[in-house]
Structure 1
Amino acid sequence: MKTTLYLIRHGETDWNLTGRWQGHADIPLNAIGRAQARRLAERIGTRGPRFDAIFSSDLQRAWETASILGQAADLPPQPLPALREIDVGSWSGLTSAEVRARDGETYARIQSGEDVARGGGERFLDLYSPVVGAVEQLADKHAGQALALVMHGGPVRAVLLHAARDKRGVNPYRLHIGNTSITVAICEDGRWELGPINDMGHLEASPQAHDMMSAPPDDTERP
């Protein structure tokens, strides 16, 4: 039986808007983020899909997004701390330019593809293992159902990497994952398939803050 997972990134925060690393910092949605969450909820309420359950990171930017979505879907979200963003340690609150000035060697190693701890916090592998473990358990427990998982850019990318691990030409590590975007992963008998990725149709042409876990932005442009 297929379990369909709708991976939803939280709405925008002020730190997203200014290009600051968040990690475990419990930053709330800003006005734009709440508007994005409402538009997501309107889309789900009018066009579907119908969810059997909603699970969310317990960080408030994800939880508030999930709560707004839950009102439209008539489902209370369930907290799942394993869906938290990667811990970026001392980088939390810094822009990429500030990180490069303070910890340029580590930043360069990460940009070259090496997996080292961000700001003394976590490596991507430290994020990947608990996220994938939790998602595998949900897929098994809720076989045949459709689940909304409200999380962060890092966890979305971890699930994508897991689902794409045996597929040629698919490398989601540097994909942009937009605020309130919907990405679909389908699990059936332990086999994974990918559906639409980073679907932001409900936002139309609205500007998007940068996803700090994707390829680094040009510092001359709006992050």
Structure 2
Amino acid sequence: MTTEFILLRHGETEWNALGRLQGHLNSTLSREGLRQAEALAARLAPLPFQALYSSDLDRAVQTASRIAARTGHGLQRDARLRERGLGVLEGLTRAEAGQRHPEVFSAYTEGHADYVVPEGESASQRLRLALHCLEELGARHPEARVVVVTHGGVLSALLRHCLGIPAHAPRSFSVLNAGWNQFDLHQGALRMVTWGDVSHLRALSLDDT
């Protein structure tokens, strides 16, 4: 029994553009992010899929709502699909985080899976929640295609999990806003099939020329 997951990162937010750490705090989609969300919706419109899920954070819901409006699917929110909680670092640029919380920011950037950011959580805690969510959705939608809107940190953790890349290893891959990533869940094991597809955004670039 295989469930095909189309895992999407939300569109660009105002804080993405400013380089601010978001975590559980919300920042609205930028103008570019709204255009990216519409491009995702247009790509999904002709593609049959059974269900649409999203993180309950506004930036993901905004993106998923554009998809729901285009495809007619009901949108189901799940807090387990949230970005990692970054506690005291949330809302800060990386430079500000390094200045105000140097020890915390250093430990965070070192990438150890079990490091809990003060007032936040660890990467391993967030990964477990996301995996449990996908396993539950796989049982709920066997032999189906499911679309999920989530966050860059979650997607990064899932890719590392599937490919056996340690959490502390430097990231040598991109996690693009509005990126299209396919993961298949087969007999309880998650497998990465497609990563970082942004072909649907090419039309946006052409529109700007």
Under a length normalisation based on structure 1, what TM-score does the superposition of the two structures give? Answer: 0.83
SS of residue matched to 1:195: strand
Structure 2: gaps spanning 5 or more residues: none
Name the CA distance, whole Å, in 2 between partners of 1:57 and 1:63. Answer: 7
Structure 1: gaps spanning 5 or more residues: 208-223
Contact 2:35 2:204 in 1 (8 A): no
Residue 95 of structure 1 is matched in structure 2 by 93
Cα RMSD (Å): 2.3
**Aligned CA distance change for structure 1 residues 38 and 196 (closer, same or farther; 3 Å):** same
Residue 181 of structure 1 is matched in structure 2 by 179
Give CA-to-partner distance per residue, 1:81-112, whole Å, 9 cap, x none: 11111111121110001111122223223333
Give CA-to-partner distance per residue, 1:110-169, whole Å, 9 cap, x none: 33332422353111112111111111111122110100110111122233233334x9xx
**Aligned CA distance change for structure 1 residues 62 and 133 (closer, same or farther; 3 Å):** same
Tell me by how many angstroms 1:204 deviates.
2.1
Larger displacement relative to structure 2 (154-163 or 128-137): 154-163
Tell me by how many angstroms 1:68 deviates.
0.5
Contact 1:164 1:192 in 2 (8 A): no
1:113 maps onto 2:124 in alignment: no
Name the CA distance, whole Å, in 1 between partners of 2:112 and 2:97. Answer: 16
Larger displacement relative to structure 2 (125-134 or 103-112): 103-112
Residue 80 of structure 1 is matched in structure 2 by 78
Residue 150 of structure 1 is matched in structure 2 by 149
SS of residue matched to 1:196: strand
Name the CA distance, whole Å, in 2 between partners of 1:113 and 1:32. Answer: 29
Name the CA distance, whole Å, in 2 between partners of 1:113 and 1:34. Answer: 31
Residue 124 of structure 1 is matched in structure 2 by 123
**Aligned CA distance change for structure 1 residues 83 and 39 (closer, same or farther; 3 Å):** same
Name the CA distance, whole Å, in 2 between partners of 1:37 and 1:118. Answer: 30
Residue 138 of structure 1 is matched in structure 2 by 137
Residue 16 of structure 1 is matched in structure 2 by 16
SS of residue matched to 1:160: helix
Name the CA distance, whole Å, in 2 between partners of 1:79 and 1:149. Answer: 10
SS of residue matched to 1:97: helix
Give CA-to-partner distance per residue, 1:33-69, whole Å, 9 cap, x none: 11110011112224x3x21100001111101110111
Q: Percent identity?
A: 32
Name the CA distance, whole Å, in 2 between partners of 1:19 and 1:85. Answer: 16
Under a length normalisation based on structure 2, what TM-score does the superposition of the two structures give? Answer: 0.88
**Aligned CA distance change for structure 1 residues 51 and 189 (closer, same or farther; 3 Å):** same
| Aligned with residue 52 of structure 1, among 44, 50, 53 | 50
**Aligned CA distance change for structure 1 residues 126 and 201 (closer, same or farther; 3 Å):** same
Residue 194 of structure 2 is matched in structure 1 by 196
